[in-house]
């Protein structure tokens, strides 16, 4: 009997995900903070990009802020301004064109 294995932690590039799956070291990978920082990452991969322009820095500010704020990336270093960061965090409350 075979038990599927999902590997967690640190997957931010399409090439590393492909390598992990092709090597048969695991059957799947999961992403959490990576998608909090870049919720469009699957679309970037599908468009041929290997990584997000501003990858997750693993600062854990997303985790700390979940107590009192919406889930999102709060690492201001990833944004051109604090306003841009807030807009990105709140963007999950705005449906994409495909949902309208």
| Domains in the chain: boundaries | 6-94
Residue 30 bridge partners (DSSP): 8
Let me know: does 89 contact 69? Beta carbons within 8 Å. yes
Q: Which strand (E) or helix (H) includes residue 61? A: helix 61-65
What does the pLDDT read at residue 99?
Answer: 54
The residue whose two tokens read 């600062």 is 59
For 80, phi then psi, to 5°, come to -75, -20
| pLDDT, one tens digit for every residue, the chain (100 residues) | 789 999 998 899 999 999 999 999 899 999 999 999 998 899 999 999 999 999 999 999 999 998 899 999 999 999 999 999 999 999 888 776 655 5
What does the pLDDT read at residue 94?
Answer: 79
Q: Please give the Cα distance from 12 to 49 (Å, whole number).
A: 11
What does the pLDDT read at residue 87?
Answer: 93
What does the pLDDT read at residue 19?
Answer: 95
Q: Please give the Cα distance from 37 to 89 (Å, whole number).
A: 9
What pTM did the predictor assign?
A: 0.80
**Closest by alpha carbon to 15, among 57, 44, 58?**
44
């Amino acid at each position: 009997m075979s038990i599927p294995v999902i590997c967690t932690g640190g997957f931010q590039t399409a090439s590393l995900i492909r390598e992990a799956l092709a090597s048969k070291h695991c059957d799947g990978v999961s992403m959490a903070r990576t998608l909090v920082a870049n919720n469009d990452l699957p679309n970037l991969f599908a468009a041929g990009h290997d990584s997000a322009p501003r990858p997750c820095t693993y600062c854990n500010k997303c985790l700390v802020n979940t107590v009192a704020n919406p889930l999102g990336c709060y690492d201001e270093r990833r944004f051109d301004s604090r306003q841009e960061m807030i807009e990105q965090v709140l963007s999950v409350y705005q449906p994409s064109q495909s949902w309208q």
